[in-house]
Amino acid sequence: MNKPINQSGWKPGTPVASDGSAHPTVTGNKALMLEEPLIFESGGADICGVDLPETPTDLPSRLGAFARKDAIGLPGLSEPQTVRHYTRLSRQNYGIDLGFFPLGSCTMKHNPRLNEKVARMPGFADVHPMQPTDTVQGALGVMNELAHWLITLTGMHGVAMSPKAGAHGELCGILCIRAALEARGDARKVVLVPESAHGTNPATAAFAGYSTEDIPATAEGRVDLEALKARLGPDVAAVMITNPNTCGLFERDLKEISDAVHAAGGFVYCDGANFNAIMGRVKPGDLGVDAMHINLHKTFSTPHGGGGPGSGPVVLSEALSPFGPLPFTAKTADGYVHLVEEENAQEYDHVQAFGRMTAFHGQMGMFTRALTYILSHGADGLRQAAGDAVLNANYILRQLESDLDAPFAASGPCMHEALFSDAGFAEGFSTLDLAKGLIDEGFHPMTVYFPLVVHGAMLVEPTETEAKSGIDQFIMAMRSLAERAKAGDAALKSAPHHAPRARLDEAQAARNPRLTWSAPDET
Ligand SMILES: *Cc1c(COP(=O)(O)O)cnc(C)c1O
């Protein structure tokens, strides 16, 4: 058995640079980028970072019964070692504050620091959901004000603020539709989902007990209106349309689709996760939408990714508002929006709520960030943010359409994201190779292999907050990588070469993760 030589188990002389560097170091470190073992490997369990009193040996037997008999197995490190461990790991992390993050559909835009300042105000940050209502009037005021602006921006009637992510909002909207159908004794069973919709849409419908059916996309990348109309009927509960859709295109026929769906007795769900492309320009309410979630963590900033936090308020039409879950915020006869909860549901005539989505009110920290973002931008600023996002994406689309296959380049301007495919790459070269090459060039890869309507899809969303110089550098990298993929440059197949680790076997890592370290030649 090979004993690890240093704490990370790396052996001197072993090339660690992922390109099999000809200049290995004895430490395994690469300049000031340090090799980092797992925290459980750095320091023995017999070491303790703090001075604790000896465990008394004469514990009364009733306590002794609870005393731990075996080692707990915590990593033993001093405070500076611990601080360094996490600081080193953080230096290997990549985020929007470090560089360009063109992840399509995810809207990784800059998060203004003003939002953070406001969210950290103790009156918001320390608020507890069980506090008496009269002590949280300011927080409730923030929610009401945000609700007002979401209703105004979308041209809808009411909003359920509590859902905690886009997909959670989808479920909320579909449950509203189900409640509305049940209230009229109409048990429809089918939800139609166009091919250009986001993958969460069919998952949501299935989770809510519906069977889903695909509606094809046209060669242009939009919903096939005729196919959709032909499928409508008394069994169709709803149509779920992502707008802008996942091909990065605006669904121009949405009003016509809504009219047809309504005439057939169904409801229109719009996936509004990409509302950042159209805010201040289009009101989904004007297009006949009945329910739409808004990803506050995309459109209205808030750092996200890596699992949270998210917030997915759902705006509802007048037809669906009565079924919105509690707490619910809606326009009432006096023209103002009011927060309706169990106590005042009678007063505001909101007695058909389908239930609740969460125990409390939702993500306070995101409500404060979103409202700060909205108020600091103002109507003209939000409009411009949407316009700039669209301009940046179109710039990328037009700059790269002759280097990469852009399947919908002829469908007119794109919205906030540009879509490319792997058509034209040399035999054996794929989107994955280009994406890995992008890491070497210092960019987080774009969204890959989504949407499914395009082979080897690459979905690039620059967002409105990137400067032209940064986008130009990205375009330069993409051109070079496209050329290498088309020419079949063998080095691209094993990229990344400059990352802390070379290309990982992702399937193996997902199916058979090795969560503790052991010497490579032992396994
Ligand atoms: C991000 C996204 C979702 C899901 O939102 P989550 O907050 O991740 O649950 C749904 N639809 C579209 C189009 C999205 O971009």
What CATH number corresponds to the domain at position 289? Answer: 3.40.640.10
Q: Look up residue 173 and give its amino acid.
A: G
3-state secondary structure of 291: strand
Q: Look up residue 513 and give its amino acid.
A: P
Closest C-alpha to ligand 1, atom 8: 166
CA of 324 to the centre of ligand 1 (A): 20
Q: Residue 251: which of 225, 229, 219 has the closest Cα? A: 225
Lining ligand 1 with CB less than 6 A are 105-106, 165-167, 198, 200, 242, 271, 273-274, 295, 310, 312
| Edge-first strand listing for the sheet containing 458-460 | 418-420, 458-460, 447-448
387 in the same domain as 366 = no
Q: Residue 210: which of 193, 195, 190 has the closest Cα? A: 190
Judge whether 158 lies within some domain.
Answer: yes
Q: Residue 419: which of 393, 399, 437, 439 has the closest Cα? A: 393
pLDDT of residue 523: 40
3-state secondary structure 177-208: HHHHHHHCCCCCCEEEEECCCCCHHHHHHHHC
- Look at the alpha carbons of 366, 167, 190, 227 in this order and tell me if their dihedral is positive or negative: positive
pLDDT of residue 22: 63
Judge whether 243 lies within some domain.
Answer: yes
For the entire predicted model, the pTM comes to 0.89
Here the CATH number for the domain that contains residue 440 is 3.90.1150.10
131 in the same domain as 19 = no
Number of other CB atoms surrounding residue 134 within 10 Å: 6
CA of 273 to the centre of ligand 1 (A): 5
281 in the same domain as 307 = yes
Closest C-alpha to ligand 1, atom 3: 166
pLDDT of residue 404: 98
Q: Residue 476: which of 414, 403, 415, 417 has the closest Cα? A: 403
pLDDT of residue 307: 60
| Edge-first strand listing for the sheet containing 158-160 | 211-215, 190-194, 236-242, 267-271, 291-293, 314-316, 158-160, 328-331, 337-340
CA of 167 to the centre of ligand 1 (A): 6
Is residue 94 within 8 A of residue 305, CB to CB? The reply is no
Closest C-alpha to ligand 1, atom 6: 166
CA dihedral 460→463→468→470, nearest 10 degrees, is: -70
Q: Which of 174, 295, 298 to mutate to test the pocket of ligand 1 (most atoms within 8 A of CB)?
A: 295
Task: Pick the last residue of a domain from 370, 397, 412.
Answer: 370
CA of 340 to the centre of ligand 1 (A): 27
Residue 292 dihedral angles phi and psi, to the nearest 5°: -155, 135
206 in the same domain as 354 = yes
Instruction: DSSP for 426-449, please give it.
Output: PTT--HHHHHHHHHHTT----EES
pLDDT of residue 522: 43
192 in the same domain as 64 = no
Number of structural domains found in the chain:
3
pLDDT of residue 60: 76
Q: d(Cα 39, Cα 16) in Å, to the nearest integer? A: 19
Q: d(Cα 421, Cα 402) in Å, to the nearest integer? A: 12
CA of 431 to the centre of ligand 1 (A): 22
Closest C-alpha to ligand 1, atom 14: 273
192 in the same domain as 277 = yes
CA of 200 to the centre of ligand 1 (A): 7
234 in the same domain as 365 = yes
Residue 473 token pair? 């550098």
82 in the same domain as 154 = no
Residues of the chain where predicted confidence (pLDDT) is lower than 70: 1-22, 45, 306-308, 335, 516-523
pLDDT of residue 521: 52
pLDDT of residue 16: 46
C-alpha distances in Å from residue 184, one per residue of 43, 266, 288, 319, 490: 66, 12, 20, 12, 63
**Residue 520 per-residue DSSP state:** G
Write out the residue range of the structural domain in which residue 65 sits: 1-92
Task: Pick the last residue of a domain from 57, 92, 127.
Answer: 92
pLDDT of residue 308: 63
189 in the same domain as 55 = no
Strands (DSSP E) found in 31-97: none
285 in the same domain as 173 = yes
383 in the same domain as 303 = no
Closest C-alpha to ligand 1, atom 1: 106
pLDDT of residue 518: 55
C-alpha distances in Å from residue 495, one per residue of 92, 225, 498, 502: 17, 42, 8, 7
Residue 134 token pair? 């009269």
Q: d(Cα 167, Cα 148) in Å, to the nearest integer? A: 22
Task: Pick the last residue of a domain from 351, 370, 389.
Answer: 370
Q: d(Cα 465, Cα 389) in Å, to the nearest integer? A: 8
**Residue 276 per-residue DSSP state:** G
87 in the same domain as 4 = yes
Q: Residue 109: which of 391, 382, 463, 392 has the closest Cα? A: 463
Closest C-alpha to ligand 1, atom 5: 166
CA of 170 to the centre of ligand 1 (A): 9
pLDDT of residue 8: 45
